[in-house]
A and B are shown apart, each in its own frame.
Chain A
Amino acid sequence: MSAPVIALAVAATIIACAIVVGLLGGRHKLSNPSEFLVAGRSLGALLLWILLAGEIYTAFTFLGAAGWAYGRGAPVYYILCYGPVAYVIGYFVMPLAWKVGNRYGMLTIGDFFATRYTSSSLGAFVAVVGFVFLIPYIALQLSGLQTLLSIAGYGTINAQLAVIIAVLVIALFVFSTGLRGAAWTAIVKDAVVLAGVIFAGVVLPIHFFGSPAGVIARVEAIKPHWLTLSTSDPTYNLTWFISTVALNGAAFFLFPQSLMSVYSAKSAGSLRRNYVWLPFYNVMLALMVFAGLTALIVRPGLSGPDVDQSFVSVVAKYYPPWVLGAIAGAGSLAALVPVSVQLLGASGLFMKNVVEDALSWRGSERQRTLAVRVLVLALAAGALVLWVFLKTTLVELLLIAYNGMAQFVPGFAAAFWWRRATALGVAAGIAAGITICIYGVVAKVSAVLGVNIGLVALAVNAIVMYIFSVVTTAPRAELVDAFRSAAFADDDATTN
C-alpha cells in the first residue's frame, strides 16, 4: 500500500471509532429540546469533565499552538494561560449561571439574556451575535482539518472536498445523538489527542535533540529573545499578552456552546469540582510549544498560514505513514468534535431565540427538527465560505471569535451584580463593542497601544451599557430580585 493510503486509512479508522462510541453511548430518547441540547441537565462527572475540558483541546490547540511557537515565539504563552484564568472565574460565576438556568429552564445564552432583562428581542440579538462570531471559530477548526488531511494524503488528495465530507458526516452524527453523543465521542477524542500531544511534545524533541529542553537551547542559540515577550513589538508585546489573557479568560464561558455545556451539568457542585482541577489539563498545552519549536529548528522557512503545518510536516517527513495517520486522525477528531458541539450550540441558539421567540414561530417537533438541520447546513456553509476567503492563521481566527464573544461579558456580569442594567443598555453596549471588533477585523487592527482591541471594545461596551441603562426605565425590581435570589441561593435549594 502507498503511504497516503496507509496514513488516510489510519486516520479514518480513528474517526470511525469515535463515531461508533458516540452512537453507542449517545443512545437516548431525544423527546425534547432540553434532552437534545443540554442532555436533560444530567451529565455526571466524567462526561462533564470531558465536555468542559474538551473546549481546550481543539484542532487549534493541536496546530495553532505549535504554529505560533514556530511563527511568533513567546506570544504563544497566552494560549497556556487563559484557560486557568477562565477556570478561576468560572468557579465563582458559573454555579450562579447554572442555578438560574436550572430555575428558569434556560438552554442557550440567548435565554439567559432574555430572562434577566425580560426582553426576547435582546435574547434574539445576543443569539445573532453569538451565531455570527461562532462562524470564525468553526472556520478555524476547518482550517486545521484541511491542513491535517492534505498532509496525511501527502498532497495527493483534494483536502477541501475531504473536509466537506468529514463535516457532513459529523453533522449528521451529532443530529442523530445530540449533546450526549458528542460528549461520548469527546472521550475518544481526548484520549487520542493527549497521546498525540505527548508524542509531539516529548517524543519529537527527544528524537531530534535528546530532551524536550534540548530544543530550547537550540532555539535560543539561533533566535535570542524568541522565548521572552517583546517590550518593543507594536502588537504582540507585554500589554497585549496581559490584556489578551484577561479578555480570553473572561470570554471563555460566553461562547454559545460553553454555556450549553454548563447547563448540561447535574449540579452546581459538579461544575465547581471540575473547575478546581481543570487547569491540570491545560499544562499539556506546553508540550505543543516544544513541538512547534522542534519544527522551527528541523524544518525552518514556513510563513503565513503555513506555520500551522509546522510539526505535522515534520512527522510526515521523518516518521512512517501510520504515525502520520494517527496524528492526523487525532487532530481531525480535535477539529470535528468541537465543530459538532459548536454547530449544535449555534443552531439551538438561532432556532430558540430568533425563530421561536423573536419571530414567534411555533412548529411541531418534526418541523423544528427539520429547521435545525437546515440551519446547521447554512452555518456549516457560512463557515466554509469564510474559511475559503479569510486565510489567516488559526490563532488570528480564534482571536476574532474571542473578541466578539467577550462583548457579552458586561451584560452577563450586570445580570448578577448590577440591578439597574436594562435591556436597551445591554443591547447598546454589545452593539458598540461589536462595531469596534468589526472595525478591527476590517482595518486589521488587533491592538490599540498594545491593548487587545477586544478589551478596548469591552471597555467602551461597559460605558455605553451604563449610560443607556441609567437613561432608560429601570427594570421591575421584583423580577430582578427573583433572578438574583435564584442565582445566589444555596446549592441545596436548587437541586432538582
Chain B
Amino acid sequence: MHPLMSRRTRLSLAVAAIPVIALTFAVPFVNRDEPHVFGLPFILAWLIVWIVLTPPFMWIIHRVIEGRR
C-alpha cells in the first residue's frame, strides 16, 4: 500500500494543513487593522501568532500522531 495513503499520514497532513491555511487562504478574512492586538494591526498579529503556533502543530504530528522520537 502507498505509504502516503495510510490513515495516520492523512491525519498528519490534515493537521499540518491548519497553520498553512492560516498563513495563506485565511489571510483575506483577517486582512484588517482593527482590533489591534498588543498594538499591532490585526493581520500582523494573526500572522505572528500562527507562525509561533506552527511548531506546536508540527510537534503534535511528529510525536503524537507519527509517534517519532
Do the two chains belong together in a single complex?
A: yes
Chain A residues in the interface with B (C-beta under 8 A)? 74, 77, 80-81, 84-85, 87-88, 91-92, 211-214, 216-217, 220, 225, 227-229, 231, 238, 241-242, 245-246, 249, 269, 272-273, 275-280, 282-283, 286, 289, 417, 488
User: Which residue in A87, A229, A282, A286 is a CB contact (below 8 Å) of B58?
Assistant: A87
Q: Do the beta carbons of B51 and A238 come within 8 Å of each other?
A: no
Chain B residues within an 8 Å CB radius of A228: 31-33, 41, 43
Q: 1/0 per residue B5-30: CB within 8 Å of A?
A: 00000001100100110011101100
The 4 closest A-B pairs by CB, nearest first: A213-B39, A279-B54, A276-B58, A227-B41
Shortest beta-carbon distance from B30 to chain A in Å: 9
B20-69 CB contacts (< 8 Å) to partner A: 20, 23-25, 27-28, 31-33, 36, 38-41, 43-44, 47-48, 50-52, 54-55, 58-59, 61-62, 68-69
Q: Do the beta carbons of A283 and B51 come within 8 Å of each other?
A: yes
Chain B residues in the interface with A (C-beta under 8 A)? 2-4, 12-13, 16, 19-20, 23-25, 27-28, 31-33, 36, 38-41, 43-44, 47-48, 50-52, 54-55, 58-59, 61-62, 68-69
User: Which residue in B4, B23, B28, B40 is a CB contact (below 8 Å) of A213?
Assistant: B40
Q: Do the beta carbons of B47 and A238 come within 8 Å of each other?
A: no
CB within 8 Å for A229 and B33 given contacts A80-B48, A91-B16, A273-B62 = no
A242 to B25, CA, bound (A): 6
Chain B residues within an 8 Å CB radius of A269: 68-69
A228 to B39, CA, bound (A): 14
Chain A residues within an 8 Å CB radius of B68: 269, 272
Q: Do the beta carbons of B58 and A241 come within 8 Å of each other?
A: no
Chain B residues within an 8 Å CB radius of A289: 44
Shortest beta-carbon distance from A67 to chain B in Å: 17
- Beyond A92-B12, A286-B51, 13 additional contacts (C-beta under 8 Å) are A80-B51, A84-B23, A84-B54, A91-B16, A91-B61, A220-B41, A227-B44, A229-B31, A242-B24, A277-B58, A283-B52, A417-B4, A488-B4
Chain B residues within an 8 Å CB radius of A92: 12-13, 16
